[in-house]
Amino acid sequence: MPTMNMLQAINNALDIAMAEDDKVLCFGEDVGIFGGVFRATSHLQEKYGRSRCFNTPLVEQGIIGFANGLAAQGSVPVAEIQFADYIFPAFDQIVNETAKFRYRSGDLFNVGGLTIRAPYGGGISGGLYHSQSPEAYFAHTPGLKVVVPRNPYQAKGLLLGAIRDPDPVLFFEPKRLYRASTGDVPEEDYQLPIGEAEVTREGTDVTVLGWGAQMEVIDRAVELAEAENISCEVIDLRSILPWDQDSVVESVLKTGRLVITHEAPLTGGFAGEIAAAVQDRCFLYLEAPIARVTGMDTPFPLTLEKEYLADHLKVYEAIKASVAF
């Protein structure tokens, strides 16, 4: 089993999908011979030609509008938005067209074959226009699926699952893990289910929940907590929409405590939705208030990025406070 980083795993998934199905098309800004700004699409144009892997104009609304049209006519487009921060010009196309195609037609037509890839999150000193985590904007939109992998194995399996899913999928890739996260990834075709969380560590005292790059942060925090004999159950949500409410509830019923962490700002962040659902189903079992460890309610800073991010020390302090409540 070869060792891959996240970029190599994503490239491998795209290669498999394009080899399997001639209807799979890959396009976006600089994705062709250049291979994308992070090189996730390297060599795909050489292998499959300019008709199946090609550059687009620098117009995000046009990229997604074009992708919607292709998907509506039976193609399987994989559209790349160069940074998730750039997705907002395409917001109207995604929430008013992509998400509603099937509903408005009574399933006479749909764009279920569409996957939108976007590097997202902080950790690369990208400043306010290259570091945002916009998953909560799209989680508010019925008709979409939102997926965030945490490592190369997940990136390949979830991306193949997204491309083959009957619904349009937003696939957010934690860019600070692109080369930092490595692991064993099978060369063969496989896919992971969308909408199922993964319990990565079992414990009894507190449930700690996150997704994407925050899982590495959680692991470091949990190591500190375990050294103080605090038993942590760790859950990687993997899919924001739909999210695996039953698995989270089952864990919280066992531990009585929940700490949620994400990079996005606190107000309106997806942790609030999780907290509301969990207290609705677990209220009488909670031993402490549900804690949220998140980014700040400010634009993403450049020089103060480390202070802004929800790091392992902040998560560790939240774990201790929850257990001591």
Catalytic residues: 60, 130
What is d(CA 115, CA 160) in angstroms, rounded to the nearest whole number? 10
What is d(CA 187, CA 131) in angstroms, rounded to the nearest whole number? 31
What is d(CA 279, CA 311) in angstroms, rounded to the nearest whole number? 25
For 128, which DSSP code? T
Q: Of 307, 279, 274, 305, which is closest to residue 292 (Cα–Cα)?
A: 274
Cβ atoms 291, 261 nearer than 8 A: no
What is d(CA 30, CA 296) in angstroms, rounded to the nearest whole number? 32
CA quadruple 277, 285, 289, 228: dihedral positive or negative? negative
Distances (CA, A) of 104 to 110, 138, 140, 141, 199: 9, 19, 18, 14, 37
